[in-house]
Amino acid sequence: MARSVLALVLAGSLLGLTATAFAAGESSHETPQPPRQKWSFSGPFGHYDRGQLQRGFKVYKEVCAVCHGMKYVAFRNLTALGYSEGQVKAIAAEYKVQDGPNDQGEMFERDGRPADYFPTPWKNENAARAQYNGVPPDFSVLAKARGYERGFPWFIFDIFTQFQEHGVDYIHALMVGYKEKAPAGFALPQGSYYNDYFPGHAIAMPPPLSDKRVDYSDGSPTTVDQYAKDVTAFMMWAAEPHMEIRKRIGFQVMIFLLVLAGLLYFAKKKVWADAH
């Protein structure tokens, strides 16, 4: 008995020691956590909202694409947004794509075809750096390449709630998180802009969105917040185009495994009934 008390005391003191150490280690949170948004694609039965994706694509095409490429997404993929093959052909033809060499050995430009990929609007990273004061990241997987720390215990709950929208919450927050002026005492470097949610706050990208900048034909509000939501949803689709089928197959697999596990459980009971 005395010994088990000893073990408990040891465990307790170990916990206490480390807990004090943690408390000392907790650094002040400079960057606030992005607020949670409602996304149509979250959860086990999540679906992309086609209308939203098309609006988001419009924002990308008219605003973001000036600086940001999307090299892993092909025009043909846009049929998933609800566009017809003809519409996709027309969209592809709006872009110029380099092809070649032709019979004379020259590279040439031609209209895009559905099989082509979204072009990157700069020649190479050095050119981008010279022009934009940084390399605008490619949009293809950006929604999966961004995120934030959820912290204990939330990261454990996230397994069960299937919260996976760290990236889109962050990007949305970034879009609406610009401040006209940096807070007093913050030394904003030349050519940077102050953003609440960007790590370090000084971001090289000027505020890209403003109210009424992009026309919507479906009557959705033409506000920065709506643009941010739509383009972020579009980016999620670009990063994870097979999400809907993944979740659908996932549900079927779950049902199957539950049935199989149930059958195996009773089969196991029958088999072991002989052994007792």
Partner 1 sequence: MTASSVEPNRRDFLYIATGTVAAVGGAAALVPLIAQMNPDASTIAAGAPVEVDLGPIAEGQVIKVFWRGQPIFISHRTKKEIEEARKVSLASLPDPQADDKRVKPGKDQWLVLVGICTHLGCIPLAHQGAYEGWFCPCHGSVYDTSGRIRQGPAPKNLPLPPYKFLSDSKIRIGEEDTAKV
Partner 2 sequence: MSGHSTYQPQSAFMKWMERRLPIAGLMYSSFVAYPTPRNLNYWWTFGGVLTFLLGAQIVTGIILVMHYTPHADMAFNSVEHIMRDVNYGWLLRYLHSNGASMFFVAVYIHMARGMYYGSYKEPREVLWILGVILYLLMMATGFLGYTLPWGQMSFWGATVITNFFSAIPLVGESVVTWLWGGYSVGNPTLQRFFSLHYLLPFVIVGVVVLHVWALHVVGQNNPTGVEPKTDKDTVAFTPYATIKDGFFMACFCIVYAWFVFYVPNYLGHADNYIPANPAVTPQHIVPEWYYLPFYAILRAIPDKLMGVIALFGSIGILAFLPWLDTSRVRSANYRPLFRQFFWIFILVTVGLGWLGSKPAEGGYTIAARILTIYYFAHFIIILPILGWVEKTKPLPNSISEAILKSSGVSSAAPTATKS
Note the residues at the interface with partner 2 (CB under 8 A): 3-4, 7-8, 10-11, 14, 17-18, 20-27, 44, 72, 77, 137, 140-142, 144-147, 152, 158-159, 162, 164, 166-167, 199, 239, 241-242, 246-247, 249-251, 253-254, 257-258, 260-261, 264-273, 275-276
CA distances 103 to 107, 108, 110, 226, Å, are 10, 11, 15, 49
- Residue 90 or 267 having the CB closest to partner 1: 267
Rounded least distance, CB 139 to partner 1, Å: 18
Evaluate whether 81 touches 54 at the Cβ level (below 8 Å).
yes
Among the listed ranges 19-27, 53-61, 216-224, 266-274, the one in contact with partner 1 (CB under 8 A) is 266-274
**Which residues inside 106-125 make contact with partner 1, applying CB under 8 A?**
113-115
Rounded least distance, CB 274 to partner 2, Å: 9
SS3 223: coil
As a whole number of angstroms, the distance between CA 48 and CA 36 comes to 18
Which of the listed partners (partner 2, partner 1, none) does 115 bind, with a CB threshold of 5 to 8 Å by partner kind? Answer: partner 1
Closest listed residue to residue 15, CA positions, set 23, 26, 27: 23
How distant is the alpha carbon of residue 206 from its chain centre?
Answer: 20
- Residue 259 binding partner 1, by CB under 8 A: yes
Rounded least distance, CB 85 to partner 1, Å: 11
Evaluate whether 174 touches 198 at the Cβ level (below 8 Å).
yes
How buried is 213 (Cβ within 10 angstroms: 0-12 exposed, 13-18 middle, 19+ buried)? Answer: middle
* Contact flags string 48-87 toward partner 1, x per CB under 8 A: --------------------------x-x-----------
Note if the bond before 101 is cis, omega within 30 degrees: yes
Give kind and range of the element (H or E) at residue 266: helix 243-273
Which of the listed partners (partner 2, partner 1, none) does 76 bind, with a CB threshold of 5 to 8 Å by partner kind? Answer: partner 1
Residues forming contacts to partner 1 in the complex (CB under 8 A) are 74, 76, 113-115, 256-257, 259-260, 263-264, 266-267, 270
